[in-house]
Amino acid sequence: MATPVAMTAKTRVEIQNASVAAQPMPSLLRRWARAALDGISESGNLCIRVVDVDEMTELNSRYRRKQGPTNVLSFAADLVAPDGDERLLGDVVICAPIVALEAEQQHKSPTNHFAHLVVHGVLHLCGYDHETDAEAQVMERTEVAILKGLGIDDPYRPIA
């Protein structure tokens, strides 16, 4: 995981909307991203881009060599400005139609599923991963704790 850098300014979360699909308000996206950073005592600026299926399919193919769209991709930067005052964590890209489809299939609130994917994506920018079982356990516990602080149920708990 990245080492926190002291910030002189409030964390900036830029929102880019490239989707016509339903999605949460930018203020909610920012709130969830900041909650993720607060939950792990990290700081830095980031961008959340909400896209449709075509753009996510292209990104998934180009950067992961996988066919079809996915729900969320993270592109970590971890760059510090020359003056040391700003740190850019990277970009989180979320496919709104896939989030809606998954929420329906999993019988989850689309808003809560979106929140989970924002938190998940931001944690990836901060060095969390789920390539091994041990990494996945740490990341999932962290996600669950952050989401609980937002009043959102454990997304990994089986639906009864």
pLDDT in tens, 125-153: 999 999 999 999 999 999 999 999 999 99
CB-based contacts of 49: which residues, under 8 Å, 6+ apart?
15, 16, 17, 18, 91, 92, 93, 94
3-state secondary structure string, the chain? CCCCCCCCCCCCEEEEEECCCCCCCHHHHHHHHHHHHHHCCCCCEEEEEEECHHHHHHHHHHHHCCCCCCCEEEEEEEEECCCCCCEEEEEEEEEHHHHHHHHHHCCCCHHHHHHHHHHHHHHHHCCCCCCCHHHHHHHHHHHHHHHHHCCCCCCCCCCC
Task: Over range 3-18, report the average pLDDT.
Answer: 70
pLDDT band per the 50, 70, 90 thresholds, residue 78: confident
Please give the pLDDT value at position 158.
79
pLDDT band per the 50, 70, 90 thresholds, residue 7: very low
pLDDT of 30 higher than 60: yes
Please give the pLDDT value at position 5.
40
Task: Over range 18-28, report the average pLDDT.
Answer: 96
Nearest alpha-carbon partner for 141 in 154, 125, 127, 158: 154
Task: Over range 98-117, report the average pLDDT.
Answer: 97
CB-based contacts of 62: which residues, under 8 Å, 6+ apart?
none
Question: What are the residues facing 94 on neighbouring strands?
Answer: 50, 72
Task: Over range 23-32, report the average pLDDT.
Answer: 97
Q: Which tokens in the block code for residue 121? A: 């994506």
pLDDT band per the 50, 70, 90 thresholds, residue 57: very high
Please give the pLDDT value at position 8.
38
- Contact present, 30 and 64 (Cβ < 8 Å): no
Please give the pLDDT value at position 1.
43
Please give the pLDDT value at position 160.
64
Percent of the chain with pLDDT over 90: 84
Q: What global pTM score does this model have?
A: 0.91
